[in-house]
A and B are shown apart, each in its own frame.
Chain A
Amino acid sequence: MAPVAPRSGDAIFASVERVNSELFTLTYGAIVRQLLTDLEDVDEVNKQLDQMGYNIGVRLVDEFLAKSNVSRCVDFKETAEVIAKVGFKMFLGVTASVTNWDAEGTTCSLILEDNPLVDFVELPDTCQGLYYCNILSGVIRGALEMVSMKTEVTWLRDMLRGDDAFELQVKLLKQVHEEYPYKDDE
């Protein structure tokens, strides 16, 4: 059987069921508000958002692999491109761009110009340390960990803090090769 060609982000997005992004935006806002009321400390909220994102990422990667038919990525560069072009498009309806590769090819930046999570949002003075979109960093970290890549994801630029775009730095820490549960000689 001939291998199925990977589908483009646009094609997949057109074929999945979609909902209005405003429902999504407002629901996310409700989540952040609940966390701020419960936890009060901005760093705790950042951590909780990252954890929630991690839980989502772990399950999201299955759906991503099933729907997109991408073949195994040869290196981290390809992985980052696939996340930016196919992954983001498939779930959020927007594409990101990949830039700022370092010399070894283990660190890059994902730049988001359009972000459905932050429509209508403004950070008040009391929450200046909040990374409002921190759920995204958790999602990427969780998804990559399920495909054997341990990464560290941090925010470099945040539009809610006055920058001109959203920039996520994704750093590959190590590739954990799959371990077989059985010993070879048994």
Chain B
Amino acid sequence: MKQYTNVLDRPISKGKQEVSLSGFAFLFSELVQYNQTQVDNIAELERRLEDAGYAVGTRILELLCHREKGNRRETRLLGILSFVHSTVWKVLFGKVADSLEKGTEHEDEYMISEKELLVNRFISIPKDMGAFNCGAFVAGIVRGVLDNAGFPAVVSAHFVPVDGQQRPRTTILIKFAEEVLQREARLG
């Protein structure tokens, strides 16, 4: 393998390389366990997981914009949402997200839902941790992508029980900042 002195000179991989799911699951479980030792409450834990995800989101946006989209930039709301729901999900999790919906109660809310989030597959939440969701990591990834693409938002992960399904599905709730909606309205 040719040695490059500068990491920026190395060719970008095609993104076809894979590792085992269990390898990733082990790594993710260590991330969660380490953070559990560093915090006192659930809100802090979710925030730390989200921050870790934010860093991933920033980098995946740069990588994908260059590799998949030929350096084109999304400027419209639906454009960036569909980028997250299809391209980002496909690259990170191997499939497009199950659904993308607009919130009915608020203009600035959108929801991406997944029947079984990859990071939650091997995780069960003990009862005393209440509404904690390791999907906070994925919420952080989405926030990282949106923020760096110029669409600041507050993103969180929630469990939504579904009839007829034993495990609840996970919904990533995206609430865009006021300026995003104003800009969107101006662009017509």
A interface list, Cβ under 8 A from B: 13, 16-24, 26-31, 33-35, 38, 48, 52, 55-56, 59-60, 63, 90-93, 113-114, 116, 119-122, 135, 159, 164-165
Contacts and interface: CB of A to CB of B under 8 A. Distances in A.
Contact of A27 (B1, B21, B28, B48): B28
Contacts of B92: 19-20, 22-23
Given A26-B59, A31-B30, A55-B30, A21 B52 contact: no
Given A19-B94, A27-B28, A116-B17, A55 B33 contact: yes
Given A34-B34, A55-B33, 20 more contacts: A13-B20, A16-B20, A17-B22, A19-B94, A20-B93, A22-B92, A23-B92, A24-B19, A24-B27, A27-B31, A27-B52, A29-B59, A33-B52, A34-B31, A38-B38, A60-B26, A92-B23, A113-B1, A116-B17, A121-B7
B141 to A, nearest CB: 9
B123 to A, nearest CB: 14
B60 interface: yes
B67 to A, nearest CB: 10
Those 3 A-B pairs whose CB atoms lie nearest each other, nearest first: A122-B7, A17-B21, A18-B18
Contacts of A59: 26
Nearest to B63: A22
Contact of A93 (B18, B60, B63, B94): B18
Interface of B: 1, 3, 6-7, 13, 15, 17-24, 26-28, 30-31, 33-35, 38, 48, 51-53, 55-56, 59-60, 63, 91-94, 118
Given A19-B94, A164-B3, A30 B17 contact: no
Contacts, number: 120
Nearest to B33: A55
Which of A19, A33, A55, A60 gathers most chain B CB within 10 Å? A19
B18 A20 contact: yes
Contacts of A38: 38
A74 B118 CA distance: 38
B179 to A, nearest CB: 28
A24 B24 contact: yes
B143 to A, nearest CB: 13
Contact of B60 (A26, A121, A164): A26
B56 to A, nearest CB: 4
B65 to A, nearest CB: 14
A160 B93 CA distance: 28
